[in-house]
Structure 1
Amino acid sequence: NSLQGLVIMLSWFENSMVCPERIQQYIDVEPEGTIQQKSLYRDEDSPLQLINNEITLSKAWPSRGEIEYSKVRFRYQPLGEVILRDLSFRVSGGEKVGIVGRTGSGKSTIAMSLLRIAELSGGAVLIDGIDCSTISLKDLRSSIEIVPQNPVLFKGSLRCYLDPFNEYTDLQISEALDKAQLRSKFLTLTSNSPGLVSNCLDFELAENGNNLSVGERQMLVLSRAILRGSKILLMDEATANVDYLQDKIIQEVIRKEFKSST
C-alpha cells in the first residue's frame, strides 16, 4: 500500500509540474521590439533604427492611412531565408489594394512585416511618414485591424470581445454591430428581453466562436474594426471560407464603412 501511494503521489506531482513549466516557458520568452532583437535581424549594410521616445503620436494617428515600403528586406528568423527582398511600393490613404500571388509567394508576409511580427532585415516601412520601427509595438499594432481567414475568438461575452478595455459605451458597440449587419442576429440568439442593447451584448461566445458560423466570426471582427474607427484594415483571404451571400455582405460593409480607410 505504501508503494502504491508513493507511485500515485509521484504521478500527481509530475502532472502538477506542467503548470509551473508552462509559466517558466512564458517567463523565458524574449520581449518583442527590443534593441537586441532588432540587431539580430538587421543586415550589416542596413543601419539600426532605434525607438524614438520623443515622437508623440496623436490619438488620431494614422490620420491618412498612407503606407510606404522602401527597399524592405524581411525574414522570419535572424539567419533564415530572406522572404521579401528590396520590396518598395506606396499605398495612398484610403486606397484599396489587393495583393495576388501563388501560395508561398509572400502575400501574408507583407502583412506580418507591417505588424512587425519579426523585425526588418533592411529598409523601412512608413505609415503617414513615420518609420514603424521607431515607435512602440503597442502604438503600431493598436492602430491596425486585421481580419484573418480563420478569426480566433475567446470565450466570454460579446461586449468583452468587442471592447475588452471598456473604452466605448453600449450604444457605440450596438451601432457598430448594426453597421456590420450583426445586431439582429445576436438579438435573435439572446433569449431574455431581446430588445435591450445590454442583453444583446451579454451574449456568450463559445470557445473559438464555435456557436457562430465562419462568416459571422468574420463580421464580428469587422464590427470591432468599425468600433475602433481603424484607418488601416488588413484582410488575409477573409472571404475564402464563406458563401456567396456572406461574401457580398462583407464587401458591402467594407465599401460603406471603410470608404476612407486603407
Structure 2
Amino acid sequence: LWLILFEVCGCEYCMQDVEVLDSRLPGAIMTFINAAIQALMIVAVAVYVTPPMIFILVPVNVFYYYILRFYVSTSRQLKRLESASRSPIYSHFQESIQGAASIRAYKLVDEFVKEWLAVRLELVGNLIVMFSALFAVLFRDSPGLTAGLVGLSVSYALNITQTLNWAVRMTSELETNIVAVERIKEYTDTPIEGAHSRQKPADSWPQQGRIEIKNVSLRYRAGLDPVLKGVSASIEPKEKIGIVGRTGAGKSSLTLALFRTVEIDGGSIEIDGQNISTLSLQELRSRLTIVPQDPVLFSGTLRFNLDPFEANSSEPPICFDLVTAFLADEEIWSALRNAHLEPFVVGQRQLLCLARALLRHPKILILDEAAAAVDAETDSLLQRTIREQFADCTVLTIAHRLHTVMDCDRLLVMSAGRVVEFDSPRALLAKPDGVFKNMAKDAGIGGHGWKAIQGNGIIPTTKIPFLVPFVSDEVSTSIRKCLRRFGLENLAAVVNVPSDNPKIRLVRTCGTQLCGLPSGKGR
C-alpha cells in the first residue's frame, strides 16, 4: 500500500531525509546555538559599555529578522520543492535563466546568488561597528567609560559581523533541514494495511475454494475515484475463472482486494463462508497462492526456490510432470539441494514459480497475467500444466491474451471497475454485441477463424515437447531421447546443475546410457 501511495522514487527521498535528520540537522542545531550565544555575549558587552547601543541594536535586530524571514521563506520552500520534484525544478530554473545571457556567458550565476545574502548581512554588521565606535566617541565623557572598555566594545563589534552572519546562515539551514522531519512525518502517517486481527481460520481452511464477492467497492486512497464499483460474483469450488477486460478495468485491483493489499470500501469477500476481513493478514495470505506477472526467484538452490519455507522438507517434491522426470529419485533430489541456480529467462522463472505454487497444494490459485511475458511454447506449457495439475483447485486467471482463458469454465468480463459479463466462453461468444465478443474480434478470435471449441471450451493446442531447456542443448537432446524411449515426451525436466556433480552425471550422459538404468532410477 505504501508503494501505491508513494512512487518508487519516494524511497530515495526518504533515505535522503533520514540522512539529513541523522547527520546534518544535529550539527546545524549545535552551530546555531553556539552562534546565538556568541552574538548575545557580544551584544551584552556592547550594551554594558555603551548603553545607548540598545537603541541601535533593537532596530538592527528587527532588520536582521526581516532579512532572515525573506531568505528562509524562499529557501525552505525551495527545499520542499526540491525534495518532492528535483528534476522539474531544475528544468524550470534552466528555462527561467535563458534570458540572463550575460551572466551565463561569464559563468557568474552561482556567485551572484551567493552574494545576495552575504552583502546584506555585511552591511548590517558594519552598521553595528560604526555605531559602536560613534557612541564611544560621543559619550567619551561618561563616568566609568575607559579606553579599555571602548576597545573591548569595538573589538567585539568587529567580530559581530561574522558571528551574526553565521547565526543567520545556521538559522536558515536549520529551518531548511527541518523539512526533512516534516517529510518523514508524512511517511510515518501514511495509512498502513488493515488491522492485524488475531482471528485464525481452521487449519484446513479453505477446504473447498468457494469464493463469494458481494457488492465490493474499492479505492486506493480517500478522495480518489473507486476502481471497483459494486463487483459481485459467485465462484464455485474447483471452477476455472478467467478475468478479462481492457487496461484499467479493475482486474488486478480485484486481486489486491482478495489479498487485502488494499482494504475494500464496501461489500464483502467470503471464502468458504469466512469473511476475509475478519482474518489475520498473515493467515489470509498464507492460505492463498498467487503466480505474479513478474516471477521472483530467491538467491539459493533450486530446492530452496521450490520450497522456501521447507514445508516439504521430509520428502522430495514429486509434484507434477515438470519435475517428475529426474527429481523423483531421492539421491538425485538430495544432490540438487546444493545446486545453485543460474540466470533463467522469464519463461523458465515462471515455470519454477508455478512449481512452487503446486507444492503448496492450494485450494485457490490466482494467476495475475502469468503468461503475459512468455513465449508461445512456454505459454502452452503453462496452460496445460494448469489444466492438468490444478484440476482440484479454484483458479482465477487474469489475462490480456484471450486465448489463454478460453478453456476456463466461465469468464468474468470487467469494464470501468464493474462486472459487465459473467458466463462461459461459448455463451459469451454467442452473445450479440457482447463486450467479450468485441474483445475477441479485436484479438482475431471469432468468425470463420475460430475453430470448434472442444469440450468445455478448450482450444486445440499444437503438440510440443514439454522439455524445458534449463540445460545445454546437447544435454537437452539426450534427455529428449531418453524421455521418448520411455514414452514420456510430454514430461519436462527442470534440471540445471554443475557438470561435475557425480549424483547428476547420469543426466549429462547420452540417452542410451540413461535408458539403461534400472526402472526405479530411470523412471
TM-score, scaled relative to structure 1: 0.72
1:229 CA displacement: 0.3
Residue among 318, 331, 335 paired with 1:199: 335
Residue among 389, 401, 406 paired with 1:257: 389
Q: Deviations over 1:154-212 (max 9, x none)?
A: 22222222222322126332x12xx151466899xxxxxxx621222333236xxxx11
Aligned counterparts of 2:288 and 2:383: Cα–Cα separation in 1: 19
Which residue does the alignment assign to 2:275?
131
Which residue does the alignment assign to 1:84?
228
Q: Call closer, same or farther: CA 1:86–1:241 in 2, change over 3 Å.
A: same
Which residue does the alignment assign to 1:236?
368
User: Retained in 1: the 8 A contact 2:216–2:229?
Assistant: yes
Q: Call closer, same or farther: CA 1:199–1:91 in 2, change over 3 Å.
A: same
Secondary structure of the structure 2 residue equivalent to 1:108: helix
Q: Call closer, same or farther: CA 1:248–1:170 in 2, change over 3 Å.
A: farther
Unaligned regions of 5+ residues in structure 2, if any? 1-15, 24-183, 395-523
| Aligned partner letter, 1:255 | R
Unaligned regions of 5+ residues in structure 1, if any? 1-13, 36-50, 188-194
Secondary structure of the structure 1 residue equivalent to 2:382: helix
Q: Deviations over 1:46-86 (max 9, x none)?
A: xxxxx4x5x55222210111111111011112332200011
Aligned counterparts of 1:121 and 1:143: Cα–Cα separation in 2: 23
| Aligned partner letter, 1:238 | A
Which residue does the alignment assign to 2:195?
34
Aligned counterparts of 2:219 and 2:290: Cα–Cα separation in 1: 21
Larger radius of gyration: 2
Secondary structure of the structure 1 residue equivalent to 2:240: coil
Q: Call closer, same or farther: CA 1:242–1:182 in 2, change over 3 Å.
A: farther
| Aligned partner letter, 2:322 | Q
Of all paired residues, the percent bearing the same amino acid is 38
Root-mean-square deviation (CA, aligned residues, Å) is 3.0
| Aligned partner letter, 2:383 | Q
Residue among 188, 205, 212 paired with 1:61: 205
User: Retained in 2: the 8 A contact 1:172–1:227?
Assistant: no
Q: Which has the higher contact order (CA 8 A, sep 6+)?
A: 1
For 1:25-174, what aligned pairs fall within 5 Å after superposition?
Answer: 28=188, 32-34=193-195, 51=197, 53=198, 56-169=200-313, 171-173=315-317
User: Retained in 2: the 8 A contact 1:147–1:238?
Assistant: yes
| Aligned partner letter, 2:293 | Q
| Aligned residue pair count | 214
Aligned counterparts of 2:215 and 2:370: Cα–Cα separation in 1: 28
Aligned counterparts of 2:327 and 2:293: Cα–Cα separation in 1: 22
Q: Call closer, same or farther: CA 1:180–1:108 in 2, change over 3 Å.
A: farther
Q: Call closer, same or farther: CA 1:202–1:59 in 2, change over 3 Å.
A: farther
Secondary structure of the structure 2 residue equivalent to 1:160: helix
User: Retained in 2: the 8 A contact 1:170–1:198?
Assistant: no
Which residue does the alignment assign to 2:348?
216
1:88 CA displacement: 0.7
Aligned counterparts of 2:19 and 2:340: Cα–Cα separation in 1: 32
Q: Call closer, same or farther: CA 1:180–1:104 in 2, change over 3 Å.
A: farther
Larger helix fraction of residues:
2
Q: Which runs of 4+ in 1 moved over 4 A?
A: 27-31, 182-187
